[in-house]
Amino acid sequence: MVTDTPKRQVTLDEVAERAGVSRSAASRVINNAPHVSRAKREAVLRAVDDLGYVPNATARALATQQVGAVVLAMSGEDPAMFADPFFAEVVVGISSVLEETDLELVLSLATSTRGQARLEQLLRTHQADGVMLMSLHGDDPLATLANKSSVPVVFGGRPLTFEPRYYVDADNRGGARAATEHLVATGRRRIATITGRLDEGAGMARLQGFQDALAVAGQDGGRVAHGDFSEDGGSRAMDELLERYPDLDGVFIASDQMAIGALRALGKSGRSVPGEVGIVGFNDIATARHTAPPLTTVSQPINSLGREMARMLLDLMAGNDPSPLILPTRLVIRESA
């Protein structure tokens, strides 16, 4: 007796590959979702016919359900980080885009094991339609959690250990290079830096930009103290630099928050700015205009970073395949250097 071998069921991944589109775009077409280009829709429908794809009814029902919320998840255990001017401005940018939709924004701190478990549960049970990740440290488990999920994911800033498919970042390395070149151009010859966290992509890129500029100038790029992007961290690192390099005459500092702390430390030590020490920060937060003296800094479009992250996520949720985006930075010269 001969029995027929059951025919293997064609998968959605095979349809997407045949059509030359992302899996999410194929899913949007099959579920008749809006905001998919005509060319992609036609390619997917051809692939469905060619392969004989039959959607799983249960999966299709799940795919068409929308929760009405997206998550902004950050690696950090201190809720005060959301009060940091940088992150606050990113959230404002994201919110300005989501206000034009029916989506709610959920904020999540997920460095601790408990926080990671909460985010994993949220993703596994499809309690969000999309995720934005920021402030990842080293080989961050948040990236693994998000990439294992079926929901669209956008990264705010490139992680240190890999380059994701979908991200929005600023030109951190180029901005740091411009800041250091400015110190060189103003006659500084013993230039140091206070880094951000070096297990974050932005912190490492800004250190590399500093070293790039001094290498071209033929100067020593080894005067380095490590900070953590906080005001207190900047103050401590400045004290360390003054002890190790008492003759320094310029400092590039990887964030304005740290630069504010560094200015405080310089004032306590009796060093004048910019007379004895030139200072350049990074971010151009509102407070940078009101320090004493006003802070020369690298401006990055923080609000735009949030807006573009949200727009990219909405694009992904609509079944499209956006390209990564790197936003420009520019040097803003004030009185500190």
In the DSSP assignment, the letter for residue 7 is P
The superfamily CATH assigns to domain 172-299 is Response regulator (3.40.50.2300)
Q: Does domain 12-63 have CATH number 1.10.260.40?
A: yes
Do 166 and 154 touch, CB atoms closer than 8 A? Answer: yes
Q: What is the CATH number of domain 69-169+302-327?
A: 3.40.50.2300
The answer on pLDDT for 7 being more than 60 is no
Angstrom CA distances, 116 to 49, 83, 265, stand at 41, 21, 37
Task: Round to whole Å and give the CA distance between 265 and 64.
Answer: 56
Asked if 43 and 21 count as a contact pair (C-beta separation under 8 A), the reply is yes
- The answer to whether the 12-63 and 172-299 domains have the same CATH topology is no
Task: Kindly list the domain boundaries of the chain, sorted by start residue.
Answer: 12-63, 69-169+302-327, 172-299
Of 103-112, 255-264, 274-283, 300-309, the range with the lowest mean pLDDT is 103-112
What's the rounded mean pLDDT across residues 290-313?
95
pLDDT on residue 150? 77
Starting at the edge strand found earlier in the chain, the sheet holding 250-253 runs 224-226, 191-195, 250-253, 278-283, 296-299, 330-332
DSSP SS3 for 285: coil
User: Angle of helix 85-98 relative to helix 302-317, nearest 10 degrees?
Assistant: 40
Distance CA 241, CA 233 (A): 12
Q: Which residue has the higher pLDDT, 52 or 270?
A: 270
Note the pLDDT tens digit of each residue in 259-291: 999 999 999 999 999 999 999 999 999 999 999
Greatest C-alpha distance within the chain: 97
% of the chain exceeding 90 in pLDDT: 52
